[in-house]
Structures are given as C-alpha cells and as structure tokens.
Amino acid sequence: MTAPARIRTGNPKLDTLLGGGLLPGTLTVVAGATGIGKTQLGLQFAHAGADSDQEREPGIIFDVTTRGDSQSQAEYAQRMFDWSLSVQPANSVVDVARVFDRDLARRDYLHIFERAGRRVTRNDLDQEELREWKIEHIKKLQLAIWFFYGNFVHGARRCVIDGVEPTDTPSDSFQFDLFEYIYHQILHKDADWVARDLLREHFRVHAAEVERHIYDHRQIACVLLYTTHEVMLDDLLGRPLDTGDVLSNANTIILMGKTRDGTRMGRALHVAKHRGSACEDSIVPFDIGNAGLMLRKS
C-alpha cells in the first residue's frame, strides 16, 4: 500500500524533523505560550499550500479568539509573504446557494467571534449571559460551515485554527466546543454530508454542483494553535494530559517554549508526538525573523 504524500509545512527543517512533513487527514497541535511564535508557524504552513504541487492554493485561517482582538495574522502574512489576507466578515449573512461562486466564497481568514475585553468561558458568564452566548454560538456554526466548505470546494486543503486560549478544564471552553464541532462535523466528514448541513432544504436543487465540487476530506490537514499556561519548554515537556484534552487526540504535537541558558533566554521546539511516522526527538532552537520561524542546529 502506497504511503500518503506528506503535507509540507513551509519550513524545510521542520519537515525533516517530521520525517518529511505532516500526514494528511490528521490533526496537528502546536502548543505554547502567547508570543512564542505559533501564529507565524501557522501562517508558514497555510501559505505553503500556494506553492504545493498538490494544492496550488493557500490554506485558510480560522481565528477563535474571544477577547475581541485577532492574532495579528494579517500583519504577519503581509510582512512575511506579501500576502494580503482576504477576510470573511464575522457578521456575514451568507447565501448558502452561492457557495459554489469562487469570488464570493473563497476567503483566507475568518475571525468568528466579536467579543471584546475578556476571555469567554462558562465560568465567566452568569446564566443570562450564558444563554445569549449559546445562541450566538449556534448562529456562528452556519458561518463556520460556509467558510470551511466554501474554501474546500475551491481547492484549499489545509487549515489553521488559531486563538485557542487556556482554561482550567477543556469542558469549560466555548472554543473547544466549536473546535470539536469543526473537526468532527466538517473536517472529518464526507463532502456531500457537509454540503447537506450547509444547504439543508436547498441540497437537492444543488446536488449536481455538490457532485462537481466533491473533495476528499482525508487530504485535508488541520493545524490547531493552542495557547498554554506554561511558558518554559521544560514545563511543557512535563505537562500531564487531562481527559478530553485536545493534545491526547492529536496525531502530531509540536511544543514551543522558552529556554534558559545561563542569563540568556531563547526559544526552542520539540516534536513530542508524531503517530504513524518516524521523527527526530531533538530539542531545536529557533528564531523569529521576517520570513517566520528559522530553526537552528541544536
């Protein structure tokens, strides 16, 4: 049986650490503290789709930050790749029947929530606020399906989910609720069934279009950027996994953290898990430059 073609990350040295790249159809989690370089790595991965012989389309960025601000993706993309991200507005009222119109549906970026000032978890809200947030969450699902399906039918095969913030327990997080839905009900679901969820009563009318735009979900690669409480790489290496923790379900885990060498601080990453593939177990220092992450010899 032929091994599936690897998904190149956009960073050749990281691809070498991963035995050639990521495995399609699987989940990769990049975990580390705020400011360590996760977004830059995610953008490298997304942009690499445009240069891939398989795709020739950049990937997409789905920002789930709930504080109201984004993760500076547009600024980084412009500086690193001269890439002007096309934006799907979070308040879009979509005409689902026009999802096959590339000019309308093909967008690079969506910041799904527009809440300012604080992180939103169940413990942050009183009962009335919780009810309102659940209603907003349900409404956002339709836009999320439109965004992912509308990009996949037009050639995108890689996605980055950014802005997942740490919580005391995963079950307290609305972000994890949304991610679980996206991962199981969009990314790991046959394309025609995703179309049914989006088009609903319009599905029969557009069945021929659905068939013409079919894609194989097993070729989609997902990178989740997960912010941790831990800052130091040593602390991340010793971090226990909670039941239901997204790290326990990932095929690949890349840890990014600070390191200390005497009086100097640095940054390094480690491939902690890469199921189904050989990978290097070294700790690799890196710098962040105008082109993104630059890995150095350990």
pLDDT at 54 over 80: no
What size, in residues, is the chain? 298
The residue-averaged pLDDT of 281-288 equals 92
Q: What pTM was computed for the model?
A: 0.91
Query: pLDDT at position 120, please?
Result: 64
Mean pLDDT of the chain: 87
Measured between alpha carbons, how far is 104 from 107 in angstroms, rounded to an integer? Answer: 8
Q: So what's the pLDDT on residue 245? A: 62
Predicted local confidence at residue 242, as pLDDT: 59
Residues 217 and 190 sit within 8 Å (Cβ to Cβ): yes
pLDDT band at 44 (very low <50, low <70, confident <90, very high): very high
Number of helices and strands in the chain (H, E): 10, 9
pLDDT at 171: 66
What's residue 266's pLDDT? 94
pLDDT for 289 beyond 90: no
Over the stretch 229-267, which tens digit does the pLDDT of each residue have?
A: 899 999 999 887 654 566 678 999 999 999 998 889 999
Confidence of residue 2 (pLDDT cuts 50, 70, 90): low
DSSP 160-179: EEEEEPP-SSGGGBHHHHHH
167-198 pLDDT tens trace: 776 667 778 888 888 999 999 999 999 999 99
More confident residue, 1 or 139: 139
Cβ atoms of residues 7 and 27 within 8 Å: no
| pLDDT > 70: percent of the chain | 91
pLDDT band at 1 (very low <50, low <70, confident <90, very high): very low
Give the mean pLDDT of 39-53: 92
- CB 107, CB 147: distance < 8 Å: yes
Amino acid letter, 165: E
Residue bearing the bigger pLDDT, 113 or 105 = 105
Q: CA-CA distance, 195 to 202, in Å (whole number)?
A: 10
Q: Torsion angle of alpha carbons 102, 107, 113, 119, nearest 10°?
A: 150
Per residue in 109-150, pLDDT (tens digit) is 999 886 555 566 777 777 887 787 777 777 889 999 999 999
- pLDDT (0 to 100) of residue 170: 65
pLDDT score for 121: 72
Structure tokens that stand for 110 in this block: 């969506």
